[in-house]
Amino acid sequence: MTARFNTGNAGGATVGQTSTLVLPREGGRQYALIVNISNETIYLNLGADAALETGIPLTPGGGAIELTGENLFVGDVYAICSSGDKKLTYYWA
């Protein structure tokens, strides 16, 4: 069965040179989209601290991950980048 929702939450985060919590745990999460809007690769890790050059790389200028029914993760999402002060945007429901 496909989950349906009619409201959501938009936001953003500034990613640092150390692991940064960008999307907190939400047991009721049904969907999430995280997009790198910076000019540098950002690395994500699901459920634990992020580390450079490991985990899920989001390429600069629009690299994204979509968490849906088949790969839905409801725990904490962390990110890191090499120079710090880079931006992610997200939407979750």
Convert the pLDDT of each residue in 53-91 to its tens digit. 999 999 999 999 999 988 899 999 999 999 999 999 999
What percent of the chain shows pLDDT beyond 90?
Answer: 87
pLDDT range class, residue 2, cuts 50, 70, 90: low
Select from 39, 79, 32 the least CA-distant residue to 59: 39
Q: What is the pLDDT of residue 39?
A: 98
Are the beta carbons of 40 and 86 closer than 8 angstroms?
yes
* CATH code of the domain made up of 10-92: 2.60.120
pLDDT, the chain, mean: 94
Select from 14, 19, 82, 15 the least CA-distant residue to 48: 19
pTM: 0.92
Name the residue ranges covered by the structural domains of the chain. Answer: 10-92
Q: Is the pLDDT of residue 40 over 70?
A: yes
Q: What is the pLDDT of residue 3?
A: 64
